[in-house]
Amino acid sequence: MSDTPVLRAATVSDAAAIATVVALSFAQYRGKLVPESGAFRETADGIAAELDKGAGAIVAERDGEMLGCVLVKEMEGDLYFGRLAVLPSARGLGLARRLIDAVEAQARCRRLAGVRLGVRVVLTDNQRLFQSLGYRETSREAHPGFDHPTSINMRKPLR
């Protein structure tokens, strides 16, 4: 048994576990985000389809148990990440930062200019985490049907 979680690239066969980790990790936001997070609509089939189309994912696991994950895809010369998720029972181990570091390393390996993400306006703790890692706000946008910004786009240049 290893105490240190290991990070690795996900495969299509990980899709069900990724969907479960996302659902359990985002459960704390149910009923608190308006509009509700798209994370609640993630399915194993949907994630598998995205992975088949060339998107990627990085997972953190310990002793065969998935503890966290993040989904990635190239976007406008950058690597975009979303659905950053760490199980409540695995929080405090630094997995979110390790997953973000892995995303940035992957972007560098692909020789991409930067890394992007989106975060809800109301999730100020998440915004502070991303800012502490060098991400800066680039724009705000409103989800369909809203007349005020609900989401913040952030970016970290890598070169």
**How many domains does the chain divide into?**
1
Q: Domain range spanning residue 30? A: 6-113
> Is pLDDT at 114 greater than 80 in this prediction?
yes
Sole residue written with tokens 């966290």: 68
DSSP reduced 3-state for 95: helix
Identify the pLDDT of residue 2.
64
> Is pLDDT at 159 greater than 90 in this prediction?
no
Phi, psi (rounded to 5 degrees) for 18 = -60, -45
43-51 mean pLDDT = 96
Residue 110 — very low, low, confident or very high, per pLDDT cuts 50/70/90?
A: very high
Q: Which residues pair with 36 in a beta bridge?
A: none
Q: 76 lies in a domain?
A: yes
49-55 mean pLDDT = 95
Identify the pLDDT of residue 1.
53
Phi, psi (rounded to 5 degrees) for 59 = -120, 150
What CATH number does the domain containing 92 carry? 3.40.630.30
Q: What percent of the chain has pLDDT over 90?
A: 94
CA distance 77 to 110: 10
Summary mean pLDDT of the chain = 95
CA distance 122 to 1: 39
DSSP reduced 3-state for 107: helix
| Cα torsion angle, 64, 68, 73, 74, sign | negative
Query: Considering only CA atoms, which of 82, 53, 79 is closest in space to residue 69?
Result: 82
Lowest mean pLDDT among 7-21, 29-43, 86-100: 29-43
Q: What residue type is 34 in one-letter code?
A: V
Q: 50 lies in a domain?
A: yes
Q: 136 lies in a domain?
A: no
Q: What is the pTM of this model?
A: 0.94
Half-sphere exposure of 44 (CA within 13 A, CB side): 8
pLDDT, tens only, 7-35: 999 999 999 999 999 999 999 999 889 89
Is the preceding peptide bond at 35 cis, omega within 30 degrees of 0?
Answer: yes
122-143 mean pLDDT = 96
82-110 mean pLDDT = 96
